[in-house]
Structure 1
Amino acid sequence: MKRHTTNYINTFIEVAEDCPVSQAQIPPEKKEKTLATLQYEKISKNPYLYSSDDIIFECFAIKNDISEHEKQEEREKFFSKGQACLRSSPLAKRYGFGFHHNLEGKVALFPIESEEYQDFLNDTSIKKTKAMRSKRK
């Protein structure tokens, strides 16, 4: 079975061109946790612990009530098709966070107004890509 991946190596995902905020916002609490909230909690509490694939699948598993013993099989099925990467995350499109993927492919979040965010933009040794726009041009 073909295995797709959403992982990046040594890459910084900048906020989307049409991101509506100039300072990062924590996704608002709702009765049921949104994808943005799940991703935010996972990454902000554990910087550089998870790969993009880990985060995307974990959030899918939570949203779809996948039990621990089903996870391995479901993960294989999930990644047998291409999946949207973190460039499509509401954190980068709407809430003003950039994602840094280190050399091991592990991810951390950086608010758009932070010094680290600017450092990544100015670092020529890191690949950069923008999050997807919310609206077509």
Structure 2
Amino acid sequence: MKTHSTNYFNTLIMTATDTKVVKGTVPPSKHNKTVAERQYELIVSAPYQYTSDDIIFQVYAERKDLMPDEYPLARTVFFSRGQACLRASPLTKTYGYGVHSNSEGKVALYGMETEEYQKFVKDGNTKKVKAMKSSK
């Protein structure tokens, strides 16, 4: 079975050009956690601990109420199809965050207003990709 991946390496996913915020903004808390809220909590609680694949699958597993013993098979099936990467995340499209992937593919969030974000933008060794636009 073919495996697809959403991981990037030494890459900054820049905020969407049509984002309506001017700085990284914490997604609002809802009764049922949104994708943005779940992704934000996972990445902020453990910067550079998880890959994009880890984050995207974990959010999927939580939303589907999967039990941890179901994860290995579910993850194999989940990544047997292409999945939207963090370029399509509400964090990069709506909430003003860039996602940096290090050389191991592990991710961290940086608000678009931060010095760190600007350093990655100017760094010639960091590949840059834009987040998906919210509108067509």
Instruction: Report whether the alignment pairs 1:5 with 2:10.
Output: no
Structure 1 segments unaligned to the other structure (5+ residues): none
Percent of matched pairs sharing the same residue? 53
Q: Distance in 2 between matches of 1:77 and 1:124?
A: 37
Q: Distance in 2 between matches of 1:34 and 1:130?
A: 22
Residue pairs, 1:114-129, within 5 angstroms? 114-129=114-129
User: Residue deviations 1:22-74, cap 9 Å, x none?
Assistant: 11110000000000000000000100000000000000000000101101000
How many residue pairs get matched?
136
TM-score (norm 2): 0.99
Deviating beyond 4 angstroms after TM superposition, the runs of 4 or more aligned structure 1 residues are: none
Q: Distance in 2 between matches of 1:105 and 1:71?
A: 20
TM-score (norm 1): 0.99
In structure 1, the residue matched to 2:42 is 42
Give the secondary-structure state (helix, strand or coil) at the position aligned to 1:54.
Answer: helix
Give the secondary-structure state (helix, strand or coil) at the position aligned to 2:129.
Answer: strand
CA RMSD, 1 decimal: 0.4
In structure 1, the residue matched to 2:64 is 64
Q: Distance in 2 between matches of 1:110 and 1:97?
A: 5
Instruction: Report whether the alignment pairs 1:85 with 2:80.
Output: no
In structure 2, the residue matched to 1:109 is 109
Q: Distance in 2 between matches of 1:127 and 1:117?
A: 13
Q: Distance in 1 between matches of 2:125 and 2:74?
A: 36
Code of the residue aligned with 1:131 in structure 2: it is A
Q: Distance in 1 between matches of 2:17 and 2:117?
A: 15
Code of the residue aligned with 1:115 in structure 2: it is E
Q: Distance in 1 between matches of 2:62 and 2:52?
A: 16
Structure 2 segments unaligned to the other structure (5+ residues): none
Q: Distance in 2 between matches of 1:68 and 1:36?
A: 22
Code of the residue aligned with 2:4 in structure 1: it is H
